[in-house]
Structure 1
Amino acid sequence: MAVLKKAYIAGGCFWGMEDLFRVRPGIKDTEVGYIGGANEYPTYPNHPGHAEGIELTYDATETSFKEILDYFFRIHNPTTVNRQGNDLGSSYRSTIFYQNDEEKNIAKEVIAIVNGSGRWEAKVVTTLEPYTTFWPAEPEHQDYLVRKPNGYTCHFERFGTFL
């Protein structure tokens, strides 16, 4: 029997993250949106302080929060502050939005593993922020790279598993 849970992460432009996660084992749904900012009902032109994030619905009998974070640290550069590829600003920060102490502790554990691996030239700057409201992005941003397969992305698999 499926045990559906949600995870909330941000690691740069939400299109690329969504496109890679959508096909991962255990991921049942993806939605891009805004999280961690100042205003209600953010939009692409008006999302002060919000990160471009992704909501992942996953089956905990098929994958785990730890495995999701392992992949997260493999598909974006977690060592750059407010930047991924050509995208600059706090909207593109690397953040794990934890929903409880268990997720926060798992995030700290995975960050320590990633730092200890030495695969990245610098230390992880990914922030841990408590979950706040996730606001879905506009329809034109959902499934963007499915509809525009040659669209911009700076996300790709850089390494094998850290675990």
Structure 2
Amino acid sequence: MGDLQTIVLGGGCFWCTEAVYVNVRGVTDVESGYANGTVAHPTYEQVCTGTTGHNEVVKLTYDPAQISTRQILEIFFVVHDPTTLDRQGNDVGTQYRSGIYYTTDEQKQVAEEIVDEMNRDKLFGKPVVTEVLPLASYYPAEEYHQDFFAKNPHQGYCMAVAAPKVAKFRKTFAALARP
């Protein structure tokens, strides 16, 4: 493995986003957490109030020799709706906003290029509202949120929301899926 990179993505509920990225070749670690808020070491209950400024996110560690930042972000834009402000499906609030929190200038450049391309090409028929910001703060979510889909595949939310996202990833990006 070469030099690993980290990027943090907010695509709605972190259970769904994590469930997708654990299946991606070249992603070496996925952790659910909270990013870019105003409270140090927030709890899930605090973040759910929508008053801390945090976003539910996944922190991805990946090997750029196996998967590019662009590929990471192409997956991101297929498995969530980047056109709805502060919501994903029935999950509503600022903690569910679409966001890319970069840790390198290259990640920022790639993210801004993709958002510009999608808006220019009117890919979604409405503007992409994904925020592209530097990662200012990150805190891991509680242990019971980690690997939630893997531990609870028959839970209602997982079956209705996370499983279809994983299936969509596997169908659209078969070449990037782990065997």
Same-fold call, TM > 0.5? yes
Kindly, what percent of the aligned residue pairs are identical? 39
**Is contact 2:37–2:137 with CA below 8 Å preserved after alignment?**
no
Moved more, 92-101 or 80-89: 92-101
Deviation at 1:3, TM superposition (A): 2.5
SS at match of 1:46: helix
Q: Number of residue pairs matched? A: 161
2:55 & 2:83 partners in 1: Cα distance? 16
Task: Report the equivalent of 2:87.
Answer: 83
Unaligned runs of 5+ in 2: 174-179
Q: For residue 150 of structure 1, what is the aligned residue in structure 2?
A: 154
Match of 2:55 among 51, 55, 66: 51
CA distance in 2, matches of 1:132, 1:16: 23
Kept in 2, the 8 Å contact 1:73–1:114? The answer is no
1:13-24 counterparts in 2 under 5 A? 13-24=13-24
For 2:127 and 2:75, the matched residues in 1 are separated by: 17
Give 2:113's aligned residue.
109
- What does residue 101 of structure 2 align with? 97
Partner of 1:131: 135
Normalised by the length of structure 2, the TM-score is 0.83
Q: Aligned to 1:80, what secondary structure does the other structure show?
A: coil
Once the two structures are TM-superposed, the CA of residue 160 in structure 1 deviates from its matched residue by: 4.2
Paired with 1:109 and 1:160, the residues of 2 have a C-alpha distance of 21
Cα deviation, residue 105, structure 1? 1.3
| C-alpha deviation, 1:113, in angstroms | 2.5
Contact 1:30 1:56 in 2 (8 A): yes
Distance 2:132 2:13 in 1: 18
Name the aligned partner's letter for residue 9 of structure 1.
L
- The Cα shift of 1:99 comes to 1.8
Q: Secondary structure at the match of 1:91?
A: helix
Letter in 1 for 2:53: G
Say whether residues 1:67 and 2:74 are aligned partners.
no
Structure 1, unpaired ranges of 5+: none
Runs of 4 or more consecutive aligned structure 1 residues displaced over 4 Å after TM superposition: 158-161
| Counterpart position of 1:12 | 12
- Rounded Cα–Cα distance in structure 1 between residues aligned with 2:16 and 2:70: 20
- TM-score if structure 1 supplies the norm length? 0.91
8 Å contact 2:6–2:103 — kept in the other structure? Answer: no
Task: Give the C-alpha shift of residue 45 in structure 1.
Answer: 0.6
Q: Tell me the amino acid that sits aligned with residue 25 of structure 2.
A: P
Q: CA RMSD in A?
A: 1.8
